[in-house]
Amino acid sequence: MAEHKAVVKQLQGITFIGKTDSNHWITMDGPENFGGSNAAIRPKELLLLSLGGCTAADVVAILQKKRVQVDDFEIQISAESTETHPKVYTKIHLEFVFVGKDIKEKDVERAIELSQTTYCGVTAMLQKSIEITHSFTIKEEK
C-alpha cells in the first residue's frame, strides 16, 4: 500500500497553506466574518476542483489515445449542499464541454464512462457519499 503525506500550516486566522507529496503549496482561506481574509479558495471547494481535475485528466488521456482531436475542453461543475452544519455536498453534476471538429459522441461517452467507473480515484471516493452525475456537450468548431 502506498503512503501519502500532506501538511497544512496556519498563516493567520483561518488562512492556511497546504503542501502534499508533489511539493506544491496551495492557499486556503475563509470569509472575513469567519476569521479569514477572503484571499483564497475554501477547503471544501477544493473537492470540486479535485474531482474535475481527476476526471478531466482521464478523459483527455483516453481521447488522445483514440486520436480524437479536441480543440477546447472544460468541465462545468455544479454542486448542492446541505444548509445546516456540517454543510456537506449532497449532489455534484459535471458538464463536460468539448469543442472540435468531428468529435464522435460514442468516443466522448466511452471516455467519460471509463473515467467515472474505472480510473478516477476522486470519483470512486466521493460517490460513496455524494450523488455524482454527468452530461456532455459537443460544440462543432467551424
What are the structural domains, with CATH classification, of the chain?
Answer: 1-41 (2.20.25), 43-140 (3.30.300.20)
User: Are 24 and 38 contacting, i.e. CB atoms less than 8 angstroms apart?
Assistant: no
Residues 6+ apart with CB under 8 A from 135: 93, 94, 95, 96
Q: Tell the residue number behind the cell numbers 480524437, with chain if given.
A: 68
Give the pLDDT confidence of 35-74 residue by residue, as tens digits.
999 999 999 999 999 999 999 999 999 999 999 999 999 9
Helix axes 43-65, 105-114, angle to 10 degrees: 130
What is the tens place of the pLDDT at every residue in 92-117?
A: 999 999 999 999 999 999 999 999 99
Phi first, then psi, for residue 120 (nearest 5°) are -80, 105
Q: What is the separation, in whole angstroms, between the first and last Cα of the chain?
A: 49
What pLDDT sits at residue 141?
80
**The pLDDT of residue 142 is above 90:** no
Answer yes or no: are the C-beta atoms of 15 and 39 closer than 8 Å: yes
The pLDDT tens digits of the residues spanning 72-93 come to 999 999 999 999 999 999 999 9
- Say what the pLDDT of residue 114 is: 98
Yes or no: say if 94 and 134 are a contact pair by the CB < 8 Å rule.
Answer: yes
Supply the pLDDT for residue 21: 96
Greatest Cα-to-Cα distance within the chain, rounded to the nearest angstrom:
51
At residue 18, the pLDDT reads: 97
